Structure 1
Amino acid sequence: MLTHGIPKIKLLFESPIKFADPIGFGEPLSLIFALIGEVIAPILIIIGFKTRWATLPSIITMAVAAFVVHISDPLGTKEKALLFLIAFIAIFFAGPGKFSIDGSKK
């Protein structure tokens, strides 16, 4: 997921910001939401900090990518978004592992 989000960081510093606005929040806010779902939340998931909460922005981002942005595209195009969505949902239900920051609190 980070390989999709990190290149978008440079878009934050362009003027004017040019980014898709699939749900009508405006281009800057849509970009910020995408960066949270594709960079910040995955980093939190990797280290295992607030793992279940961190999956929620990523789940929403991938659901929007698959079912709003790529809705009319063939399955092969939306396949990555769907696979990431399934993985984030699985992490949400499974929770952090025992070696995560959250895992030591049991």
Structure 2
Amino acid sequence: MNILMKFLQLRFIPASIDLALLVLRLWVGGSMLFLHGWPKLVAWGEKAASFADPFGIGAQASYALALLGEVGGSVLLIVGLFTRLGAALGAVTMGVAFFVAHGGQLSGAGNGELAFLYLGAYVTLLLAGGGFYAADIKIAANRTAGMPKSV
């Protein structure tokens, strides 16, 4: 029975929250960057003027803010540098995409299901941080290396 439970619970696969956060950062950051952000970046000239302007700040400004979240936030996630900031940029961008551009619609024509899924991943990374395999950890370690130990 113990072997069956080990198999059913997949306990033969070592659990690692840090490795899982690395995979999530790379997966979400990479897919957002290469499937959404990069195509927007290279199409700036032809698409920026006609981009949605949900807050009345201008189509090009809205486009630039979307790029900030999709490209800037993604690069931060992939590197693990200022991970929570990168996740916040992505979360705001996907929150606007889901709630404003898609009207919070999860099904039907013009739904925002993909933005909703990205939003969930960004919120997870915002709450959890980048994990051990992020540049953030290395920076924090270097900052505290020369500090005196507390008594």
TM, length-normalised to structure 2:
0.64
Distance 2:60 2:70 in 1: 15
For the Cα contact (< 8 Å) 2:82–2:136, is it kept in 1? yes
For the Cα contact (< 8 Å) 1:70–1:78, is it kept in 2? yes
User: Offset at 1:73?
Assistant: 4.5
For the Cα contact (< 8 Å) 1:47–1:100, is it kept in 2? yes
For structure 1, the residue ranges without an aligned partner over 5 or more in a row are none
For the pair 1:20 / 2:49, whether they are aligned, the reply is no
Q: Which structure has the greater CA radius of gyration?
A: 2
Aligned-residue identity in percent? 39
Q: Aligned pair in 2 of structure 1 residues 88, 15: CA closer, same or farther (>3 Å)?
A: closer
Query: Aligned pairs, how many?
Result: 106
Corresponding residue number in structure 1 for 2:5: none
Off by >3 Å, runs of 4+ in structure 1:
none
For the Cα contact (< 8 Å) 1:11–1:17, is it kept in 2? no
Moved more, 9-18 or 81-90: 9-18
Q: Give the match's secondary structure for 2:86.
A: helix
Corresponding residue number in structure 1 for 2:13: none
- From 119, 124, 127, give the equivalent of 1:85: 119
Deviations 1:9-49 (A, max 9, x none): 13323497221111211011000000011111111111100
Residue identity opposite 1:92 in structure 2: L
For the pair 1:10 / 2:42, whether they are aligned, the reply is yes
Corresponding residue number in structure 1 for 2:63: 31
Deviations 1:45-94 (A, max 9, x none): 11100011111111111011100000175526211000000100000011
TM, length-normalised to structure 1:
0.89
Q: Aligned pair in 2 of structure 1 residues 36, 84: CA closer, same or farther (>3 Å)?
A: same
Distance 2:67 2:48 in 1: 17
Give the CA RMSD over aligned residues. 1.9
